[in-house]
Structure 1
Amino acid sequence: MTVRTQVSRFIAFFFRSLLWSLNLLLVLYTALAYWLLQSMPTEHWLSGMIMISIPVAWGLNLLFVFFWLTSRPWRSWLSGLVLVIGMILFGPRTFVWNSPVDPTGNAVPFRVFSYNVQGFGYTDDQVNYPESSPKVRRVANYVLRYEAPIKCLQEFYNSVALKDYDLITRFRQSGYVYSVLLHPELATARNGPIGAAIFSTYPIVSSGREPFSGFNGIVWANIKIGTDTICVINVHLKSMGIRVGKVLRQDELTGVKHETRGVLSALRSGFISRREQVRRVEEYIRSSRYPVVVTGDHNDTPYSVVYERMRQTLPNSFETSGRGFGFTYNRLPGFIRIDHQFYDPELHILNFETLNYVSYSDHYPIVGTYKLK
């Protein structure tokens, strides 16, 4: 055996050993993430960072499975086992394939439509140059015409200075005469970042709101449907702060580092804020006299403290009646689901859809169809 052959074998052995060590560390990390999400021993922001990385850990484990199958097949079982356990534990919140249920009985089915409309594409130019607002006409017309008696919007914007943007009036003219606004004092403003809003063709018998900051907050409405009443809670929790596109657009390493630090800082701040905000949502659920539907932009993935707390309180509509992966974020990284609906067990869910062909905003609309038992 030549020296060159010996050196080549040593290098190959070294890199296989290094990769095996990294594989073991990845398996331990993935197991830690599973334990944190399944048991919820702590709600610290750092544990939240670990939990939301579960899909990334799955992807890396899958790469290791393929790599070892081509070189050391017996080593592929470890990451393979981790993936199987993950699918058993968290499969329903990741991928489902349910069929719509036909309504039966006398109860009237009703749809709850939810959409982060990203301000309908509002910019200051559109106040100064009204002809520059074709986007708002498209998205507003879509939202107004979609057939659902209850519509919950996040980042709702209204401006009496532009006919296209006088959306509260347009909703009322379209039959949605009942509404709840997070910032009602801005309903007649020239620039009105109202935030969360509920519009209904059914009577709203009582309602409330709780602003957090900016667009973020909670609005709720007790809505009378026939002889019954339900409570709809529309939430918009603090943003995740993920701006992957800004990181990728940086030409220099310094810019990448700066943007990455900004993303991590925003993630930390978001975890802390949403952890407190979801407790307020839980209080509204507990205090409701009526069956509850919670919908909106939760800004957290299915592998998070917010989602797990909500999931322990109410069933998730996507898991029960959705199809596919249900990704709702229309920007990079693109494979996350951060808009959710949860429903009271006193309701039957008939169908749940993610309308991922509607690309007007940085979110996709979601819609659930329910009926009272």
Structure 2
Amino acid sequence: MLESSTKEPLADTPRPRSLWRRAATWSVWGYTVALAVIVGSLWIGTDRWWWATILAFAPRWPWLVPAPLVLLFAVFARWGVGACALIITLGAVLMGVRVNLPLPREHTGAEFRLVTMNVAGGKVNPNHFTAIWPERIDLVVLQEGGREFIEQVVPSDWFVENPDSGGIFIASPHPIGGVDSLPRPYMPSWGQSAVRCVVETPQGPVRVVIVHLRTPRDGFERILSNRLSGIAHLKTAIEERLQESRVLREWISQWEDADRAPLVVAGDFNSPVESLVYQRYWSDLYNAFGIAGLGIGGTKNTGWHSIRIDHVLCDAETKVVSCEVTPNLGGDHRGLIVSLAMKRATGAQYEYTGNANAAR
């Protein structure tokens, strides 16, 4: 009798992944790498490479259009939470999203509150502009303003300064002294690059610099009209912007200040925080929206997108209490409403932690 033979069970063999799952995996990681390259190009190349500068000022939201579908692919391909979190993080960095918890306020009445806005030559509705002011305000600074507009929005008993009759206006209920202006080295028809002054608040003097820096817009327009031959013009615009900020920072550093008064720099920088102009010359100061803002914080509006190129910066003698972006009031810029607490006036021992770049 033949011995019955038993077959050994075959070992479990892994089933090949389906074509759809492989396609989903490649889509997820291909899109993630693409987002990482775009974000890296913004932070490394803006104002270094002409194409990265275009990328920084162009609409960014189209890069996120595929994101919902890719997130579904991530779930389908079983990459799950890790891949989704990475894509969402890269998307938030790309759009410049800030998430800050409300900061504790010093109940001393010593806050310094200011509003800054590029009013686009008076296209902003004056009544809407004054309606967004906080209950108590210490300083209003305008870029591309006009005498008629300032007379409509500022009380008659306020102090108003408009050096050289340019487009920068300073208005405050407190005395303004030490007013000086820096002529624009390029495009002089646009008025001054900056105005500096000392606002004599009840809590002590505050040094204020209002800026309206060169725009790269004409470089972009040359590329749109002349194609590749316009690249040279954009490169020239980038170099002029770098030189303008270098001269301006030297001008500020030479400002004699025996009282060590706090420093606030506000206005239209025409530079996003990723740009070399901002990183090289302004990132040592603290960005109010970076510390206390919420969301994207776009201040320059077009029909397609918004970008944050208007900033309020301060030194370590100042604590940022709050920062919000105004609604659209009719111009192509939104303003910033910022509350600051002067450490000297409040006696606070608040210290900024980490590098200033953490609060872009």
Could you tell me the TM-score, scaled by structure 1's length? 0.67
- The correspondence for 1:98, drawn from 98, 101, 104, is 101
Gaps of 5+ in 1: 1-12, 122-134, 159-164, 185-193, 247-255
- After superposition, residues 153-302 of structure 1 pair within 5 angstroms as 153-158=142-147, 165=148, 167=149, 174-181=156-163, 183-184=164-165, 194-212=166-184, 213=187, 214-215=189-190, 217-226=193-202, 228-241=204-217, 258=225, 268=235, 270-288=237-255, 289=257, 290-302=261-273
Name the structure 2 match of 1:345. Answer: 316
- CA offset at residue 174 of structure 1? 2.5
- After superposition, residues 1-373 of structure 1 pair within 5 angstroms as 20=26, 24=30, 27-28=32-33, 30-35=35-40, 43-50=48-55, 55-56=60-61, 59=64, 62=67, 65-66=70-71, 68-69=73-74, 72=77, 74=79, 81=86, 83-84=88-89, 90=93, 93-99=96-102, 101-105=104-108, 108-121=110-123, 138=127, 147-158=136-147, 165=148, 167=149, 174-181=156-163, 183-184=164-165, 194-212=166-184, 213=187, 214-215=189-190, 217-226=193-202, 228-241=204-217, 258=225, 268=235, 270-288=237-255, 289=257, 290-309=261-280, 312-356=283-327, 358-373=328-343
Higher helix share: 1
SS in 1 for 2:301: coil
When Rg is computed on C-alpha atoms for both structures, the one with the higher figure is 2
Q: Percent sequence identity over matched residues?
A: 21
- CA offset at residue 317 of structure 1? 0.2
Q: Relative to structure 1, is the Cα distance of residues 85 and 144 closer, same or farther in structure 2, using a 3 angstrom cutoff?
A: closer
Corresponding letter in the other structure for 1:360: G
Q: CA contact under 8 A between 1:299 and 1:339: conserved in structure 2?
A: yes
- CA offset at residue 152 of structure 1? 0.8
Partners of 1:299 and 1:42 in 2: CA distance: 12
Corresponding letter in the other structure for 2:271: D
Q: CA contact under 8 A between 2:39 and 2:94: conserved in structure 1?
A: no
Q: CA contact under 8 A between 1:330 and 1:359: conserved in structure 2?
A: no
Corresponding letter in the other structure for 1:201: P
Corresponding letter in the other structure for 1:48: T
SS in 1 for 2:146: strand
Q: Relative to structure 1, is the Cα distance of residues 284 and 27 closer, same or farther in structure 2, using a 3 angstrom cutoff?
A: farther
SS in 1 for 2:313: strand
Q: CA contact under 8 A between 1:64 and 1:79: conserved in structure 2?
A: no
* Cα RMSD (Å): 4.4
Partners of 2:231 and 2:35 in 1: CA distance: 20
Partners of 2:81 and 2:62 in 1: CA distance: 15
Name the structure 1 match of 2:348. Answer: none
Name the structure 1 match of 2:14. Answer: none
- CA offset at residue 315 of structure 1? 1.1
Partners of 1:72 and 1:44 in 2: CA distance: 37
Q: Relative to structure 1, is the Cα distance of residues 145 and 77 closer, same or farther in structure 2, using a 3 angstrom cutoff?
A: closer
Q: CA contact under 8 A between 1:215 and 1:236: conserved in structure 2?
A: no
- CA offset at residue 179 of structure 1? 1.3
Partners of 2:65 and 2:320 in 1: CA distance: 36
Q: CA contact under 8 A between 1:65 and 1:77: conserved in structure 2?
A: no
Q: CA contact under 8 A between 2:288 and 2:312: conserved in structure 1?
A: yes
SS in 2 for 1:312: coil
Task: Render the CA deviation track for 1:171-220: whole Å, top value 9, x for unaligned.
Answer: 77522224143x32xxxxxxxxx322222222222021123233362111
Corresponding letter in the other structure for 2:181: R
Q: Relative to structure 1, is the Cα distance of residues 316 and 136 closer, same or farther in structure 2, using a 3 angstrom cutoff?
A: closer
Gaps of 5+ in 2: 1-18, 344-360
- CA offset at residue 76 of structure 1? 10
- CA offset at residue 137 of structure 1? 5.4
Q: CA contact under 8 A between 1:301 and 1:337: conserved in structure 2?
A: yes
Partners of 1:75 and 1:268 in 2: CA distance: 43
Name the structure 2 match of 1:187. Answer: none
Q: Relative to structure 1, is the Cα distance of residues 62 and 280 closer, same or farther in structure 2, using a 3 angstrom cutoff?
A: farther
Corresponding letter in the other structure for 2:200: K
Partners of 1:20 and 1:143 in 2: CA distance: 49
Name the structure 2 match of 1:125. Answer: none
Partners of 1:51 and 1:138 in 2: CA distance: 33
SS in 1 for 2:289: helix
Task: State the number of aligned residues.
Answer: 316
Q: Relative to structure 1, is the Cα distance of residues 136 and 40 closer, same or farther in structure 2, using a 3 angstrom cutoff?
A: closer
Could you tell me the TM-score, scaled by structure 2's length? 0.69
